[in-house]
């Protein structure tokens, strides 16, 4: 990340690129990533100075109301990613490949990742999984698509994992996770999300990898951190992971605003003159005249 970049007022700053993200790790600068799913919030995330916007498939849970991320489709993702790229261009924009969009065949992965870049204005894609997606990641990178990897708790496998649980708790499982991460780096991934893993595992992975680690529930030693926007803003009450820090509680603020609208309308205070369109007296009179019965005979 160059001198113009990192924190502060965003819009006039330079576009964040994949090389910027790699350079941040080398320079020991922390990387920030936040999810967004629409234009309005993409603008706000950009204005905060955050480095990377992830259009996460958490869309399924926090916006579309599904119990997991599994039902999310490629069309859902492209629609929302397009909305995000119309709201923010400075952050690096990463589209999350949804379940079923990259597992069956490398050609699916290439086709769907290209949709993120061509139709939705994303700069990169994210793929969940370890050794089993290494060749997919290699094919994407070889074909010019920047890939963020994602290991640890991979929510698309929630049924197989038995819930949203901490991963890599044993030495053996942690070693496998770090080996997977190294294989993903070797395949060309430019960064890797570590989700819900013990902090010492994330620290060891971060030390051994030359690409940046971006933690969520993975302790302070990762090269960067990501959270889900609706958790940060207190907009999603159904499920609150231990690692999600609420920086604002917008739920009650939104409800209060809507209650005041409701009361104003019911009691005739809204809309007032300020929020209504006037009409010239002459035009109003001519309109009223037009309804008067014409004299006959």
DSSP letter at 131 equals G
CB atoms closer than 10 angstroms to residue 183: 18
For 79, how many CA atoms within 13 A lie in the half-sphere containing its CB?
Answer: 9
Hey, is 79 helix, strand or coil? Answer: helix
Stretch that binds ligand KIV, among 49-57, 76-84, 160-168, 250-258 (CB under 6 A): 49-57
- Count of all residues that appear for the chain in the document: 297
Q: Does residue 231 interact with ligand KIV by CB under 6 A?
A: no
Nearest partner of 71 among 39, 63, 118, judged by Cα: 63
Q: In the annotation, is 128 catalytic? A: no
Q: Does residue 233 interact with ligand KIV by CB under 6 A?
A: no
Q: Does residue 96 interact with ligand KIV by CB under 6 A?
A: yes
Site map (CB under 6 A) of ligand KIV, residues 1-40, x = contact? ----------------------------------x-----
Residue 283, H or E segment: helix 281-290
CB closest to ligand KIV, residue no: 56
Hey, what are 52's tokens?
A: 């990377």
Q: Does residue 101 interact with ligand KIV by CB under 6 A?
A: no
Q: Give the burial string for 210-219 (b: 16+ CB within 10 Å, else e).
A: ebbbbbbbbb
The span from the CA of 247 to the CA of 227, in Å, is 11
Report in angstroms how near the CB of residue 108 gets to ligand KIV at its nearest: 19
Is residue 194 within 8 A of residue 223, CB to CB? The reply is: no
| CB closer to ligand KIV out of 60 and 82 | 60
| CB closer to ligand KIV out of 5 and 37 | 37
Given 119, 185, 195, 288, the catalytic residue: 195
By CB under 6 A, the residues from 54 to 93 that bind ligand KIV are 54, 56-58
Report in angstroms how near the CB of residue 56 gets to ligand KIV at its nearest: 2
Residues with catalytic function: 195
- List interacting residues with ligand KIV (CB under 6 A): 35, 54, 56-58, 96, 193, 195, 216, 226, 228
């Amino acid at each position: 990340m160059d001198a113009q970049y990192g924190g502060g007022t965003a819009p006039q700053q330079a576009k964040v690129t994949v090389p910027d993200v790699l350079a941040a790790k080398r320079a020991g600068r922390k990387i920030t990533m936040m999810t967004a799913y629409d234009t309005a919030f993409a603008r706000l995330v950009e204005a905060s100075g955050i480095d990377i916007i992830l259009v996460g498939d958490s869309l399924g849970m926090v916006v579309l109301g599904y119990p997991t991320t599994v039902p999310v489709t490629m069309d859902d993702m492209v629609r929302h990613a397009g909305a995000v790229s119309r709201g923010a261009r400075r952050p690096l924009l990463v589209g999350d490949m949804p379940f079923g969009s990259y597992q069956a065949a490398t050609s699916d992965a290439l086709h769907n990742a290209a949709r993120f870049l061509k139709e939705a204005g994303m700069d990169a894609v994210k793929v969940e999984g370890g050794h089993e997606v290494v060749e997919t990641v290699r094919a994407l990178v070889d074909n010019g698509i920047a890939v963020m990897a994602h290991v640890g708790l991979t929510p698309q496998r929630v049924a197989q994992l038995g819930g949203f649980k901490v991963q890599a708790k044993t030495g053996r499982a942690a070693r496998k996770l770090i080996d997977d991460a190294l294989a993903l780096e070797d395949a060309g991934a430019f960064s890797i999300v570590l989700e819900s893993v013990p902090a010492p595992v994330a620290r060891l992975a971060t030390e051994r990898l030359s690409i940046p680690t971006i933690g969520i529930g993975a302790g302070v030693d990762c090269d960067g951190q990501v959270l889900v926007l609706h958790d940060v803003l207190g907009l999603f009450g159904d499920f609150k992971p231990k690692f999600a820090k609420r920086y604002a509680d917008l739920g009650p603020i939104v409800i209060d605003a809507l209650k005041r609208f409701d009361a104003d309308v019911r009691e005739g205070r809204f809309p007032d003159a300020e929020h209504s369109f006037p009409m010239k007296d002459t035009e109003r009179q001519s309109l009223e005249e037009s309804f008067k019965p014409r004299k006959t005979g």
